[in-house]
C-alpha cells in the first residue's frame, strides 16, 4: 500500500495520549505534517512529541480543551494560520471512568458527554465549515470503541458517548458526502495502554479479565489502532464513508459467550 503524500496535514485531538501519539507518528511516517490538540501543558507535549519532530515533518502543538467551543475555534485558526490547510481530522481525545451506573454523578456523566461526544461535534463542525468554504475533500476519522455497539458494565457514560460518536460519523457522512467529505470510525478493543491501562492501574484485577475476554489472545497496541487510522487516511480508503472499522481482536464477536464482569474502554 502506498501511503506517500505531499504536504498534507493531519490534526489529531488527544494526540499526546497513547493512541493519538501512535497515530501522529504513523501519519508523520506517511509524510503528513501534524497538528496535535490536547489539554496537557506545552512542556509535557514537547517531551512526548519530540520524536515526531525528528521524523522531518512540521509539528504544531495547540493546547485546548475540546469541551470549549471558543478554544477549539481558536486552535483551528492556529492550525490554518500555520499550515494553510487541513486534510485529515482525527477526533480521538477521550476519557473513561469505571463506576456502577447508580454511582455516576451528573458531573461525571456530563464530563464524558462533553469530552467524548460534544468535543467531536465542536471540532468536526468547525473543520467541516472550513472544508466546505474551501471546497476541500477532507476526511474525518473518529475514535470509537467496540463498546459503541455492545453495553459493558461499569462504563455506561463511556458506552453512551461512543455510541453517539458512531451515529455522529454516519450523520456527517451522509450530509457531507456531496462535498466530498468522508467520516469513518475506528473501533478499537482493549489496549495495554491509554485509558484501559489507567483502568488496570486502578483495578489490577481487570488485567486477567481483559486477557480472558479477548479472543485474539493479547491486548491491542496503539500501533494496531494507528494502522487502521492510516489506512482510512490513505487514498485507498477514498470510497469509504459512514463506516466503522472494528479492530478489537474479536471482543465484540465473542461478547455473547463471555463473562464481561470488568470494565473495558
Ligand atoms: N485504551 C483503550 O483501551 C481504548 C479502547 C478503545 C477506544 N479508545 C479510545 O481511544 C482514544 C484515545 O484514548 P487513549 O487510550 O489513547 O487514552 P489516553 O488517556 O492515553 O489519551 C487521551 C488523550 O485525550 C486528552 N484529553 C482528555 N480530555 C481532553 C480534553 N477535554 N480536551 C483535549 N484533550 C483531552 C488527554 O490529555 C490524552 O492525551 C479515546 O477516544 C478512547 O476512548 C481507547
pLDDT of residue 260: 53
Distance 135 CA to ligand 1 centre (A): 30
Distance 172 CA to ligand 1 centre (A): 22
For residue 40, CA distances in Å to 49, 93, 230 come to 12, 11, 24
Please check the confidence at residue 7 and state whether its pLDDT lies above 90: no
Distance 194 CA to ligand 1 centre (A): 7
pLDDT of residue 256: 85
Region 19-37 average pLDDT: 97
User: With a 6 A CB cut-off, is 33 part of the ligand 1 pocket?
Assistant: no
Please check the confidence at residue 209 and state whether its pLDDT lies above 80: yes
User: With a 6 A CB cut-off, is 40 part of the ligand 1 pocket?
Assistant: yes
pLDDT of residue 36: 98
Average pLDDT, the chain: 95
pTM of the model: 0.96
User: With a 6 A CB cut-off, is 265 part of the ligand 1 pocket?
Assistant: yes
User: With a 6 A CB cut-off, is 86 part of the ligand 1 pocket?
Assistant: no
What residues does 35 pair with on adjacent strands? 11, 60
pLDDT per residue as tens digits for the range 75-121:
999 999 999 999 999 999 999 999 999 999 999 999 999 999 999 99
Region 232-261 average pLDDT: 91
pLDDT per residue as tens digits for the range 220-246:
999 999 999 999 999 999 999 999 999
Please check the confidence at residue 2 and state whether its pLDDT lies above 50: no
pLDDT of residue 262: 52
Distance 17 CA to ligand 1 centre (A): 6
pLDDT of residue 62: 98
CB of 62 closer than 8 Å to CB of 45: no
- C-alpha dihedral, 167 to 169 to 175 to 176, nearest 10°: 180
Q: Any idea which fold 9-252 has? A: Rossmann fold (3.40.50)
- 93 Cβ neighbours under 8 A, 6+ residues apart: 13, 14, 17, 20, 37, 38, 39, 66, 115, 119
pLDDT per residue as tens digits for the range 162-196:
999 999 999 999 999 999 999 999 999 999 999 99
Dihedral over Cα of 230, 236, 242, 246: its sign:
negative
pLDDT of residue 5: 44
User: With a 6 A CB cut-off, is 38 part of the ligand 1 pocket?
Assistant: yes
Catalytic site includes residue 152:
no
Q: Which helix (H) or strand (E) holds 188?
A: strand 182-188
pLDDT over 90 percentage in the chain: 92
Amino acid at each position: 500500500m502506498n501511503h506517500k503524500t505531499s504536504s498534507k496535514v493531519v490534526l489529531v485531538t488527544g494526540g499526546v495520549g497513547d493512541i493519538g501519539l501512535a497515530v501522529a507518528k504513523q501519519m508523520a511516517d506517511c509524510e503528513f505534517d501534524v497538528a496535535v490538540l490536547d489539554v496537557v501543558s506545552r512542556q509535557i507535549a514537547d517531551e512526548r512529541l519530540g520524536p515526531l519532530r525528528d521524523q522531518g515533518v512540521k509539528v504544531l502543538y495547540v493546547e485546548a480543551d475540546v469541551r470549549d467551543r471558543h478554544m477549539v475555534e481558536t486552535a483551528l485558526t492556529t492550525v490554518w494560520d500555520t499550515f494553510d490547510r487541513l486534510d485529515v481530522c482525527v477526533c480521538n481525545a477521550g476519557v473513561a471512568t469505571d463506576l456502577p451506573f447508580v454511582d455516576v454523578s451528573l458531573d461525571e456523566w456530563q464530563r464524558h458527554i462533553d469530552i467524548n461526544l460534544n468535543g467531536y461535534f465542536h471540532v468536526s463542525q468547525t473543520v467541516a465549515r472550513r472544508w466546505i468554504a474551501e471546497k476541500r475533500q477532507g476526511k474525518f476519522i473518529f475514535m470509537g470503541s467496540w463498546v459503541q455497539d455492545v453495553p459493558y458494565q461499569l462504563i455506561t457514560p463511556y458506552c453512551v458517548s461512543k455510541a453517539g460518536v458512531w451515529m455522529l460519523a454516519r450523520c456527517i457522512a451522509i450530509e457531507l458526502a456531496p462535498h466530498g467529505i468522508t467520516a469513518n470510525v475506528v473501533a478499537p478493543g482493549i489496549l495495554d495502554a491509554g485509558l484501559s491501562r489507567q483502568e488496570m492501574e486502578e483495578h489490577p484485577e481487570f488485567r486477567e479479565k481483559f486477557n480472558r475476554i479477548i479472543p485474539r489472545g493479547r491486548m491491542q497496541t496503539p500501533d494496531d489502532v494507528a494502522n487502521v487510522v492510516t489506512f482510512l487516511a490513505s487514498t485507498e480508503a477514498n470510497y469509504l464513508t459512514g463506516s466503522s472499522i472494528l479492530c478489537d481482536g474479536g471482543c465484540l464477536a465473542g461478547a455473547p459467550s463471555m463473562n464481561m464482569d470488568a470494565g473495558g474502554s
